[in-house]
Chain A
């Protein structure tokens, strides 16, 4: 509660939080209700228009309503950021905590693996994973469809999401693991941990009840920044054509689809661009605000 009050005393960070919660997550969840048009519906009588009463943000080259696509893009960004960050946080926290607490060969192994993943050029790696994992995933899902008599799953675009989640989590967990490990190393020397050990608490209990809860504050900051990072990475991947595929809406893909038009209709790029930038900015600002609230001495 102290934390929340300190965080909320930074008005701008609070505004950013409201923007994110309403603008990204609530909009994402209620996208089907909120969007005025079907995001894939083409109206060829109204192609590449500027903002008007009928189309608040105008239409793209295919006559699709820009506002509706932005709203559905929010859904994509919301799903990707939550799932990818949850995955990488869970993997990172568990491996980092074990590695910091247990030490020894396990620690060495995890740290070496993360060293290696750090040495990979991450964007190249993500693009490469996205490009190589996808066909196998498609094949797998198609076989599943045949086996279970389902239809349309492989074409629904669900695989694109799965591929993006995998790619983003694979590169993001080592950073989280290192952060947690460093925290655990300092917390495990605390007296209450020694006390827990001396009364014979199990390793599992010590890690998850005593050590981890006291390491979580930097994780909060990292998660906030990570959510912004995931939104950024998703839009980069989709921009480069290896992320979410059309006709599913993604802000990055929208920028790419309209990038041939930057001279004639700059708003088609600037609006999704501004939306991405505002969302990432808000996440970073929330992260900054949390950091200040957690470490009041640094202000």
Chain B
């Protein structure tokens, strides 16, 4: 087990190295001159050259990349091009906090709605409730968030005047409701479907029939034999849907004007703020690798049949 974890953790730096190399390369050979971004369009060429030299931007790619890696290893990602004078670290740190609050609420919505709905559909298999839930989840998956958002805005804000429209004021504010819903709804659908499928598969297993034939109470059969086994893949999915939440954050935060990493990411790409792009990409990649490691480790605890070696 320990060997497994260590091997996986050793894999992390390699992933980050490759991810950073590709991203850095795309940025280096991509459009936009950092110095021009810093100074704006109207500058004289001498100043541009001087600053380029001062910042070390006239050195070859591999030297600059090495420099970047060296600084990144010390946790230093430089200054943002767009927000001048702001260290990338500080810029990201405050936004990560906002996004993780939003993501947490969205995840709670997804789990609290998704698992019961999936159980409902599975235990009422073949009835209208099943059909309704499955149909609804397909609709939820199919409607992109940039369409859900205006629909919610139009119904809840502009027609019914139930909620304030946009912005961010912490986790205990009504303004959180809509973006959290928009981000939470697609994973609800995924979790519901997975729960339903898993329960249906487990219900057909021999050990469930055995449990019933032993004369166990239905409640015990459901809780101990069905749910315990069926929820393992659901657990994996919840871990992996964190990645999906980051995606959702891009669009949702941009639409609702929430100062999180999603909006920052989009802004930094459109304004070619490469230091921020680099830091964000690495942050998300790290989160992804760690989340999937956590899922794998959790798996071995939840399901002793899974061996790590």
Contact = CB atoms under 8 A, between A and B. Distances in A.
Interface of A: 115-116, 118-125, 127-129, 131-136, 228, 232, 235-236, 239-242, 252, 255-256, 259, 262-263, 266, 269-270, 273-274, 276-278, 280-281, 284-285, 288, 298
Contact of A276 (B26, B144, B200, B243): B144
Contacts of B200: 298
Given A128-B269, A128-B277, A241-B270, A273 B150 contact: yes
Contact of A119 (B29, B31, B254, B289): B289
B143 A116 contact: no
B19 A116 contact: yes
Contacts of B272: 131
Contacts of A135: 30-31
A274 B143 CA distance: 8
Given A132-B31, A136-B30, A252-B146, A121 B151 contact: no
A181 B142 CA distance: 28
B265 A262 contact: no
A238 to B, nearest CB: 10
A259 B147 CA distance: 10
20 contacts: A115-B11, A120-B281, A121-B246, A121-B247, A121-B288, A124-B280, A127-B266, A131-B272, A132-B26, A135-B30, A136-B29, A240-B254, A242-B270, A252-B146, A262-B158, A263-B154, A270-B150, A281-B138, A288-B138, A298-B200
Nearest to A130: B269
The 3 A-B pairs with the shortest beta carbon distances in the complex, nearest first, are: A132-B30, A273-B147, A281-B142
Given A124-B265, A131-B272, 20 more contacts: A116-B15, A119-B19, A120-B19, A121-B288, A124-B269, A127-B269, A128-B277, A131-B270, A133-B26, A228-B142, A262-B150, A266-B154, A269-B150, A270-B151, A273-B143, A273-B151, A280-B144, A281-B138, A285-B138, A288-B138
Contacts of B18: 116
A228 B142 CA distance: 8
Interface in B216-264: 243, 246-247, 250-251, 254
Contacts, number: 129
Contacts of A240: 250-251, 254, 266
Contacts of A127: 250, 266, 269
B147 A277 contact: yes
B26 A129 contact: yes
A281 B141 CA distance: 8
A59 to B, nearest CB: 19
A89 to B, nearest CB: 21
B69 interface: no
A131 B31 contact: yes
A128 B27 CA distance: 9
B243 to A, nearest CB: 7
A122 B247 contact: yes
B139 interface: yes
B31 A121 contact: no
A121 B277 contact: no
B153 interface: yes
B144 A124 contact: no
A121 B285 contact: yes
B89 interface: no
B23 interface: yes
B153 A262 contact: yes
A277 B143 contact: yes
B267 to A, nearest CB: 11
Contacts of A277: 139, 142-144, 147
B132 interface: no
A20 B23 CA distance: 37
A77 B250 CA distance: 22
A236 B251 contact: yes
A150 B199 CA distance: 61
A259 B285 contact: no
Contacts of A239: 146, 251
A262 B151 CA distance: 9
Contacts of B15: 115-116, 119
B128 to A, nearest CB: 15
A167 to B, nearest CB: 11
A121 B281 contact: yes
Nearest to B16: A119
A127 B247 CA distance: 11
A128 B280 contact: no
A264 to B, nearest CB: 10
A122 B247 CA distance: 7
B269 A236 contact: no
B108 interface: no
Contact of B146 (A120, A134, A236, A280): A236
Contacts of B201: 298
A262 B256 CA distance: 14
B154 A121 contact: no
Contact of A121 (B146, B254, B284): B284
Contacts of B266: 127, 240
A297 to B, nearest CB: 9
B138 A284 contact: yes
B29 A132 contact: yes
A125 B30 CA distance: 13
Nearest to B265: A124
Nearest to A233: B144
